[in-house]
C-alpha cells in the first residue's frame, strides 16, 4: 500500500476533520514500535491510527475498536506524558506538503490549558511524528536528528518544515476513494498485528516447538529401547541352558554351543552368575517393554498436546492468547494486563424524563465515559454537586425545560447521597478532563440550589438502565 500524496491528503483532510475535530484523543495504545492508536471520544468504539512505518506511513480513522493491549517504549511513555487526553481543535495541511498538523489543547499537571501541535510528516522513507509547544518548539520527536543533519530535529529547537523539492508537479487525482484506502489500511493493520503477536508471544511459540521436538526425541529414544529390549526377551532360555549343561561347560569358557547357537559367557564370573545375568536381562527386557508401552503412549499424548497448543496459538487473536497464557500459567498474572477497551463496565446509566434522556455515572470510569467519550452536543447541560466528589450528570437536549433542569440537579444530589445542596451546571463545551480519573475542569458554570429531593426523582433513579453502545 502506497502512502498518500499531497493532493490525496487534501481530499482526505475534510474526512479527518469531520471525524476528529472537537473530540478528545484518549486511550492511546502502542500497537507496534512505529504504530500508535488513539480512541476518539464519542459514541461507540473507534480508533485513529498513525503508522510511521518508514516505507509507507499511514494515518486513518475507522469505526472498529482497539482490540489489543498497549505495548510500551520510551517514546510512547513520553508521548502519553506530553499530550494527555488531547482535545483536537483543528487539522490542517502544513507547508502545502505531505505534513498533517493537529492543533491540540491539553490540561497540564497544574490544571492549566496549554496548546500543543502534533505534526505528522508522511514522507515515504522519512516519516516522523513531532510534538510542538505553543511557540512551535520541539518537545518530542519520534525520529530525532542531531546538529550534524541539514535539518536538526531535537528537543528545544524551533520546528521548521522540510523544504519542498518540486521535481515534478503532482497531478491531482480525479477522486480519492476513502473506503478503498481504509480497506487497504485495515489489511496493513492485520499484517502489523500478526507480526506484533508473533513478536510478543514468541516465547510461547518457541516453548511449544521445543516441547514438540522434545516429545519426538523421547518417542525415538523409547522406540530404540523397545527394539533393544525385544532382543533380550528370550535371554532366560540361555540361563536355563547354562544350568542344563553345567557339568559339560569347560572352566573359564568364553562361550558354549547349545542347539546350534553359540551362547556367550563372561569368563571373569561363575557359570551360575552368568545364568543369573541372563535371567536379569530377560526380566529387564520384559519390564522395559511394559514401561516403554506406557511411556510411548504418554509421549505421544505430550506430542499431540504440544501440537494442538501450537496450532491454537497460531490461529488465535491476541486477546485469546493472553487468556490462553493465564490458563496455562505462561505469564505471571501481573504481566498480562486486562483489556481496557470501551466496554459495558465503563458505560454510564440513563433515565428518561419528560421525553428527554438524562445520563449519569456511578464511578470515575463511568463519569469519564459520559463526559468525554460518548457522543453529545456541546450545548447539552452538564451537572455536578458543588465542592464535593460525585456523579457526572448530562441532560441530553439543546432546549431543556425548567423541570428537566431541576430533575437533573436532583439526580446529581441524590447520586451523591445528598438531600439538598448546590449543584454546578454548565454547557458540555465548557468542561475539560483533568489528570485524575473522573476529574473535570470547568471554564465557567452556574449554580442551582436544590432544597429537597422529590419522590419522582427517587422513583426515576430506580428505572435507570445502562446506556447501550
pLDDT at 71: 83
pLDDT band at 112 (very low <50, low <70, confident <90, very high): confident
CA distance 463 to 461: 5
What tens digit of pLDDT does each residue of 31-43 get? 888 889 999 987 7
Nearest Cα to Cα of residue 393 among 377, 378, 415, 376: 415
Mean pLDDT value across residues 257-268: 92
pLDDT band at 468 (very low <50, low <70, confident <90, very high): low
Lowest mean pLDDT among 7-11, 78-82, 306-310: 306-310
Residue 320 has pLDDT above 80, yes or no: no
Lowest mean pLDDT among 93-107, 176-190, 243-257, 271-285: 176-190
pLDDT at 194: 78
| Higher-confidence position of 336 and 36 | 36
Burial label for 444, CB within 10 Å (0-12, 13-18, 19+), is exposed
| Higher-confidence position of 104 and 375 | 104
Residue 224 has pLDDT above 70, yes or no: yes
The pTM of the full predicted model, rounded to 2 decimals, is 0.52
What tens digit of pLDDT does each residue of 153-166 get? 999 999 999 887 66
**C-alpha dist (Å) from residue 373 to 45, 408, 429, 432:** 9, 20, 13, 12
pLDDT at 49: 92
pLDDT at 370: 85
Question: Do 72 and 57 form a contact (C-beta atoms < 8 A)?
Answer: no
Beta bridge partners of 349: 360, 466
* Mean pLDDT, the chain, integer: 86
Nearest Cα to Cα of residue 32 among 79, 89, 70: 70
pLDDT band at 325 (very low <50, low <70, confident <90, very high): low
Per DSSP, the residues of 59-77 read EEEESSPP-S-----HHHH
Percent share of the chain, pLDDT over 70: 90
pLDDT at 205: 82
Instruction: For 334-385, list the strands marked E by DSSP.
Output: 349-353, 356-360, 381-385
Percent share of the chain, pLDDT over 90: 50
Question: Do 367 and 36 form a contact (C-beta atoms < 8 A)?
Answer: no
**C-alpha dist (Å) from residue 185 to 19, 72, 155, 267:** 17, 23, 31, 82
pLDDT at 243: 93
- Say whether 84 sits in a helix, a strand or coil: coil
pLDDT band at 184 (very low <50, low <70, confident <90, very high): confident
- Say whether 329 sits in a helix, a strand or coil: coil
Residue 370 is given by DSSP the state I
pLDDT at 335: 39
Nearest Cα to Cα of residue 370 among 348, 396, 340, 341: 348
Mean pLDDT value across residues 219-238: 93
pLDDT at 336: 36
What tens digit of pLDDT does each residue of 435-462 get? 777 888 888 999 999 999 999 999 998 8
Question: Do 91 and 20 form a contact (C-beta atoms < 8 A)?
Answer: yes
pLDDT at 237: 93
CA distance 243 to 276: 10
Residue 223 has pLDDT above 50, yes or no: yes
CATH node for 6-200: 2.30.310.10
Residue 333 has pLDDT above 70, yes or no: no
Amino acid at each position: 500500500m502506497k502512502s498518500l500524496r499531497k493532493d490525496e491528503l487534501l481530499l482526505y483532510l475534510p474526512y479527518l476533520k469531520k471525524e476528529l475535530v472537537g473530540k478528545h484523543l484518549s486511550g492511546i495504545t502502542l500497537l507496534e514500535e512505529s504504530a500508535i492508536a488513539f480512541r476518539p471520544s464519542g459514541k461507540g468504539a473507534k480508533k485513529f491510527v498513525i503508522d510511521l512505518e518508514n516505507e509507507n506511513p499511514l494515518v486513518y480513522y475507522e469505526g472498529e475498536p482497539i482490540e489489543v493491549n498497549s505495548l510500551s517504549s520510551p517514546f510512547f511513555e513520553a508521548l502519553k506524558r506530553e499530550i494527555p487526553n488531547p482535545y483536537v481543535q483543528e487539522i490542517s495541511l502544513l507547508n502545502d506538503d505531505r505534513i498533517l498538523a493537529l492543533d491540540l489543547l491539553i490540561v497540564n499537571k497544574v490544571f492549566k490549558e496549554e496548546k500543543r501541535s502534533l505534526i505528522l510528516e508522511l514522507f515515504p522513507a522519512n516519516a516522523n511524528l513531532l510534538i510542538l509547544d505553543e511557540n512551535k518548539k520541539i518537545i518530542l520527536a519520534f525520529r530525532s536528528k542531531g546538529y550534524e543533519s541539514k535539518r536538526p530535529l531535537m528537543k528545544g529547537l524551533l520546528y521548521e518544515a522540510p523544504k519542498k523539492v518540486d521535481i515534478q508537479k503532482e497531478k491531482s487525482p480525479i477522486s480519492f476513494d476513502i473506503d478503498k484506502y481504509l480497506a487497504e489500511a485495515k489489511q496493513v493493520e492485520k499484517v502489523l498485528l500478526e507480526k506484533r503477536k508473533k513478536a510478543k508471544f514468541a516465547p510461547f511459540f518457541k516453548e511449544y516447538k521445543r516441547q514438540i521436538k522434545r516429545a519426538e526425541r523421547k518417542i525415538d529414544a523409547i522406540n530404540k529401547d523397545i527394539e533393544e529390549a525385544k532382543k533380550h526377551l528370550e535371554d532366560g532360555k540361555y540361563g536355563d541352558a547354562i544350568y542344563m549343561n553345567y557339568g559339560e561347560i569347560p572352566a573359564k569358557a568364553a562361550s558354549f554351543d547349545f542347539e546350534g547357537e553359540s551362547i556367550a559367557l563372561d569368563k571373569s564370573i561363575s557359570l551360575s552368575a552368568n545364568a543369573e545375568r541372563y535371567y536379569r536381562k530377560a526380566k529387564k527386557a520384559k519390564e522395559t517393554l511394559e514401561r516403554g508401552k506406557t511411556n510411548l503412549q504418554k509421549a505421544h499424548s505430550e506430542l499431540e498436546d504440544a501440537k494442538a497448543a501450537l496450532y491454537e496459538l497460531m490461529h488465535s487473536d491476541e486477546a485469546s492468547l493472553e487468556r490462553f497464557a493465564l490458563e496455562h500459567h505462561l505469564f505471571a498474572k501481573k504481566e498480562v494486563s486486562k483489556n481496557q477497551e470501551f466496554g459495558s463496565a465503563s458505560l454510564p446509566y440513563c433515565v428518561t424524563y419528560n421525553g428527554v434522556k438524562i445520563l449519569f455515572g456511578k464511578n470515575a470510569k463511568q463519569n469519564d465515559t459520559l463526559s468525554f467519550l460518548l457522543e453529545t452536543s456541546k450545548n447539552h447541560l452538564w451537572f455536578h454537586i458543588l465542592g464535593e466528589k460525585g456523579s457526572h450528570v448530562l441532560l441530553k437536549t439543546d432546549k431543556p425545560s425548567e423541570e428537566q433542569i431541576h430533575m437533573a440537579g436532583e439526580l446529581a444530589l441524590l447520586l451523591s447521597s445528598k438531600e439538598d445542596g448546590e449543584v454546578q451546571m454548565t454547557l458540555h463545551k465548557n468542561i475539560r478532563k483533568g489528570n485524575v480519573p473522573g476529574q473535570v475542569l470547568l471554564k465557567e458554570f452556574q449554580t442551582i440550589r436544590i432544597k429537597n429531593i422529590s419522590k419522582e426523582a427517587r422513583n426515576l433513579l430506580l428505572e435507570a438502565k445502562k446506556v447501550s453502545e
